[in-house]
Structure 1
Amino acid sequence: LGLLGGKTIRTTARLDGDEWVINGHKLWPTNSGGVSKLFGVPCTTKPGSSDPKDFAFIFVPADLPGVTQGGAYEKAGMAADKNGDIWFEDVRVPSWYRAHGPGKDAEAFYQLISFGQVMSCAFMTGAMMNLYERLYEFVSTRTYNNRPLKENDAIASIIGRIAGDIDICRILGYEAAMIGDRRNKPYGKPLISEDLVGRIRNIKDFVSDKAVECFGKSMDVLGLYGADRDWDIEKHWRDIKIVQLWMGGKQLCQMEAARYFFNCETL
């Protein structure tokens, strides 16, 4: 939502008696592609409006008349998270299927974004911890000049930096979780504040970049074994790139951070 307040949302919800009538097309929603039985659909009750009160989050059962799902996209990674197209054509749901109501829907949805950033950090640091385990095994058992790879100066400088980056990313992940956890305390800030959103977005962007960088360096160290599925690293490499791109990708993270830290007025 951010500065635009939802005015670019094209899926509409019109109240007809005690029913919402929903029309629109969603691309790349999580757990679509024929998997989910219930969708949470961001809509606008007034197309083009930037008023948060016109944002509606409505629950829609997947088997209702007018709901059409496309097949799952074939992505580079995160194959367990199915994504596809969903079309809504005059789909009718009871009015009480709206999550909260005017204004409250936008607040609740905006909070989900910060939770998603923290979850993304957990995804990536978990993958990086397994990267460390597999990398440790490789450089300890493979030799060069009759010494383990880790005893070679050139390799040691790379794996030392990788370990340091992983440690820093874990600390930042805890920091992001702590920022969100403080929201209900006297010294905390709400999850919808630009301060909290900008800082957590910033952490997710940094951890994403470091994860992609660490896996790239590790694959350089492993050589062809880095692309070998028996070593698991290529799977994580594909997955963490998807995590870097989801929820708006790098650009949205950077814009949210710049909006807060530099008081941007048009982003």
Structure 2
Amino acid sequence: IIFVPCDRPGVTQGPAYEKAGMAADKNGDIWFENVRVPLWYRACGPGDDAKYYGEVVSLGNMGSIAFAVGVMLNIYEKLQEYVSRKTYRGMPLKENDAVAGVLADFAATIEAVRIIGYQCARMCDRQDLYGPRWSPEIVARARAHRYFAADRALEAIGKVMNLMECFGSDRDWDVEKHWRDIKMVQLWLGGKQLSQMEVARWFFECETL
């Protein structure tokens, strides 16, 4: 892990990605051409760089779960308004049993993902019980929690968008924006496939992945 000032000779930065509309932070391409920095710009040292990178990954996955929960809670507020205001056969849409089933599944997903998030936070916080945040075990477990949470959130939000019909894809309601936000949560920190490889590597003691 080496700190490189952005104005260092040889450093070139590209424009920020559009990232499906997410503007919480900005990312882009960076090129290095014969860039030199003093030795003390290295953050850690031999054996420690990978260790602390693992810690960043664990904490990043924990934060991603919190992000997914926040997205679903905001959609819950939008959905509550929609199914309470829209009527079907003279009654609020939420009083239809088929609709109520979708609403219940969405609420259940929120509750389950929140529990997963609390457990991930506990693992990262209680190193005396679970071991260092940078250990392959905690990295694998945090990755498993994150990609499972994002997948379940995406499935649940898709059902909500279908239930809301044209309003589900209407940008004024923000639901489709949140759906795209969850797609970004799936992609960062190496994406789902890298997460799967790290999870399988630790839980099944893979030797070639």
What interval of TM-score do these two structures reach, taking the shorter chain for normalisation?
over 0.9
Deviation of 1:74 (Å)? 2.1
> How many residue pairs are counted as aligned between the two chains?
209
Equivalent of 2:132, from 180, 184, 190? 190
Instruction: Give the conservation status (yes or no) of the 8 Å contact 1:244–1:250.
Output: yes
Equivalent position SS for 1:71:
strand
**TM-score between both structures, scaled by the size of structure 2:** 0.96
Q: Map 1:55-134 to 2 at 5 A.
A: 57-134=1-78
- What is the percent sequence identity of the aligned residues? 58
Per-residue CA distance 1:60-108 (angstroms, 9 max, x = gap): 1101111111112222132332221111111121211110111112211
Q: In the aligned structure 2, how far is the partner of 1:174 from the partner of 1:231?
A: 29
> Which structure's residues are more often strand, by fraction?
1
Query: Per chain length, whose mean CA-contact separation is higher, i.e. which structure has more relative contact order (CA < 8 Å, sep 6+)?
Result: 2
1:254 maps to which residue?
Answer: 196
Instruction: Give the conservation status (yes or no) of the 8 Å contact 2:51–2:135.
Output: no
Q: In the aligned structure 2, how far is the partner of 1:77 from the partner of 1:224?
A: 20
Q: Which runs of 5+ in 1 are unaligned?
A: 1-56
Q: Map 1:1-267 to 2 at 5 A.
A: 57-183=1-127, 185=128, 187-267=129-209
> Which structure's residues are more often helix, by fraction?
2
Q: In the aligned structure 2, how far is the partner of 1:195 from the partner of 1:98?
A: 26
Larger Rg: 1
Instruction: Give the conservation status (yes or no) of the 8 Å contact 1:219–1:227.
Output: yes
AA matched with 1:61: P
AA matched with 1:174: Y
Q: Which runs of 5+ in 2 are unaligned?
A: none
Deviation of 1:188 (Å)? 2.4
AA matched with 1:58: I
Equivalent position SS for 1:79:
coil
Could you list the runs of 4 or more consecutive aligned residues of structure 1 that deviate by over 3 angstroms after TM superposition?
Answer: none
AA matched with 2:19: K
**TM-score between both structures, scaled by the size of structure 1:** 0.76
Equivalent position SS for 1:87:
strand
